[in-house]
Structure 1
């Protein structure tokens, strides 16, 4: 049955203020699993907080593709019990041509083999531009997936795939068991969010239009995304609740998403 998790990036402000308190609140809300981000830098703190609250981290985000030294990443993942390491972001300017896609796919395949040597899985997490950008009439995401080794896994951000114009349930069905996790988020999928992009240097630096669009994100079931169809299309995938930003109390937001999943995730339910 699918596991349900929460991406700790959603709570980054609370974590910056007091990591232990933020993690404890996640457990109190009812989550048993989390997806840490940039976990190498705070591995000691995360290890302590997760153990103190009985939380597990089946997956984690960290910038691996551009890392010069990957050994600390694999070591930190093992310490935290992470089984699947996901690179969260390669900017749109590096997804423009067939050569661009091949370069990224080759690196991902190389890292997949490297991760396997440490008993780990490795994969990639999309935004909208992998679906918006096209080469020879096909999305760069299609070109990318076609060049990946079978052992490479995928985490599909179903909100961003939808924003990018994809039929997210159809994408998930086509990818099958290669999808080990999905980001579950909801909200508006038109307007500024269609075309506004973050900085090429960092997903954390966003223009005002995109920040407004982020803040229009809603708990699961309250926006434009076909969340129910997405869940049904990927019954095997970890459900990772996430907000890029949230206009209200983000702890209330992740609570509402968890409650909705418990009531509506007929593919397996939340745990």
Structure 2
């Protein structure tokens, strides 16, 4: 082999070897996303409080690996000590990555106890999911709420956890020609508060999630994934059967900064447990 040909061949081989780690990282990322589909347990709110262990076993059998909780209070959840709940989830091959907590608790003196309980089971995020309508009558109200959220985030940061805020559609109802959600993105410190985007509610409000990803890259660390019924915009459909372009949205996951995502449904075409199963089956075909 001539020297020039040998050098070119060697360079090509070296370039190929250098590309392998990047390729493996890409493949690993795709694989891990498919194998880490999450569920917000509020989807099964009518049954989990009655038979938490039975419901969790069913969820695990569908292939869910990550869970987001609701209804934590005084060190307990779904009628059992929080630590017992965490241990049982782990025994099923799942993990609790996030939980929803009321704004009142996030502002209360016992907020730190909720944070330390979350850390004790390996949870990563604590999220406020709702603002009562009596607390959001003006842009100034939203700004005051953001101050409280930033303070709650400081407590989470102190313990090595992340704090977040989850939207509905009301954050897009304008006051004085301002969109409250945009105000919140400006007022919330990204070092203290990450955003959990409920994609259904953004679309329902008439906005494009991808435009938000492009404008605020890296801010949307968690997602709620629920589809929109084709005939009634206020109702959910099983993921993959409605009007939302999930392939297009998941293609922008890295831009958004998404680390975890959770199927969540508030309304159902049939039984909630069947929607839970159908939604993960669809997601695994596109991830």
Q: TM-score range by the shorter chain?
A: 0.7 to 0.9
The match for 1:29 is 62
The match for 2:203 is 162
The match for 1:245 is 267
**Alignment deviations for residues 78-117 of structure 1 (CA, whole Å, 9 cap, x no partner):** 1221111111111234333221111011111111111101
Q: Distance in 2 between matches of 1:169 and 1:154?
A: 14
Q: Which residue of 214, 222, 246 corresponds with 1:227?
A: 246
Q: Distance in 2 between matches of 1:8 and 1:128?
A: 21
Task: Summarize the alignment of residues 74-93 of structure 1 with structure 2, pairs less than 5 Å apart.
Answer: 74-93=115-134
- 1:35 Cα shift? 0.8
The match for 2:212 is 171
Q: Distance in 2 between matches of 1:233 and 1:93?
A: 35
Contact 1:128 1:163 in 2 (8 A): yes
Q: Residues 47 and 174 from structure 1, CA distance in 2 versus in 1: closer, same or farther, beyond 3 angstroms?
A: same
Where 1:17 maps in the other structure, the secondary structure is coil
**Alignment deviations for residues 121-140 of structure 1 (CA, whole Å, 9 cap, x no partner):** 10100001001x21332310
Structure 2 residues without counterparts, runs of 5 or longer: 1-28
Higher helix share: 2
Contact 2:269 2:275 in 1 (8 A): no
Q: Which residue of 206, 211, 217 corresponds with 2:236?
A: 217
Aligned length: 242
Q: Distance in 1 between matches of 2:48 and 2:55?
A: 6
| 2:59 equivalent to 1:20 | no
The match for 2:174 is 134
| 2:86 equivalent to 1:47 | yes
The match for 2:279 is 257
Where 2:240 maps in the other structure, the secondary structure is coil
Contact 1:134 1:140 in 2 (8 A): yes
Q: Distance in 2 between matches of 1:68 and 1:177?
A: 31
Q: Distance in 1 between matches of 2:231 and 2:208?
A: 14
Task: Summarize the alignment of residues 142-157 of structure 1 with structure 2, pairs less than 5 Å apart.
Answer: 142-151=182-191, 152-157=193-198
Contact 2:86 2:96 in 1 (8 A): no
Contact 1:65 1:111 in 2 (8 A): yes
- 1:45 Cα shift? 4.3
Q: More displaced, 251-260 or 90-99?
A: 90-99
Where 1:141 maps in the other structure, the secondary structure is helix
Q: Distance in 2 between matches of 1:105 and 1:160?
A: 20
The match for 1:116 is 157
Q: Distance in 2 between matches of 1:172 and 1:92?
A: 27
Q: Distance in 2 between matches of 1:247 and 1:67?
A: 38
Rg larger for = 2
Higher RCO, 1 or 2 (CA under 8 Å, sep at least 6)? Answer: 1
TM-score by length of structure 1 reads: 0.83
- What's the RMSD between the two structures over aligned residues? 1.9
Contact 2:196 2:222 in 1 (8 A): yes
Q: Residues 140 and 190 from structure 1, CA distance in 2 versus in 1: closer, same or farther, beyond 3 angstroms?
A: farther
Contact 1:115 1:122 in 2 (8 A): yes
- 1:32 Cα shift? 1.1
